Amino acid sequence: MKFLIVGLGNPGAEYAQTRHNVGFKTLDLLAQELGTTFSLDKAVFKAEAKYKGRQLVLIKPITYMNLSGKAVNYWLQNEKILLSNLLVVTDDISLPFGTIRIKGKGSDGGHNGLKDIEAILKTQEYARLRFGVGADFPKGRQADYVLGEWNADEKTALQGRLEVAVAAIKSFSFEGLSMAMTNWNNK
């Protein structure tokens, strides 16, 4: 079985340590654990690895967050991966920092990356792993917050929470969506 695991973020050093790039950071850790590295290929950084007999195609679109859909669609088609084997990893301001929530479908929740993916794929029926980044910002300052860097407390706890997200991705690819949700939501 083949899976497409997508980490959402923005390319460039100025975004590397921001909350909005937690999808990229999660995939970086997953690639490290699986002993693979990313290389540039058709508008994404791409890595491939095997996990318990499953083939994982990891991509980090470099089209900026708001234009992620074309890259996701291209790699689904190019790799002949079923929509049911797609998992998108993204930040979520509606969840407290470090909270992991896997869902098999749902709205974009105001997230522009998910909004573009849904528009291109013409469905909300794909799995996503939402990584809580909290909502500690004044009204109207959401963009500054998600494009801001982690605070000191978040930086201290981030590695452990990324490890949980990686374990949830592995569970999704090996045990399936239902078991991943049961075992990893809110852990």
Q: Which residues are catalytic?
A: 20
Inter-axis angle of helices 152-175 and 22-34, to 10 degrees? 60
Residue with tokens 């508008």: 43
What size, in residues, is the chain? 187
- The gap from C-alpha 72 to its chain's centroid, in whole angstroms, comes to 12
* 3 state DSSP class of 128: strand
Residue with tokens 């049911």: 84
Query: CA quadruple 133, 136, 140, 144: dihedral positive or negative?
Result: negative
Spatial CA neighbour of 6 closest among 97, 142, 121, 98: 121
Spatial CA neighbour of 12 closest among 155, 161, 154, 147: 147
- The burial class, CB within 10 Å (0-12 / 13-18 / 19+), for 113 is buried
- Phi, psi values for residue 105, rounded to 5°: -170, 175
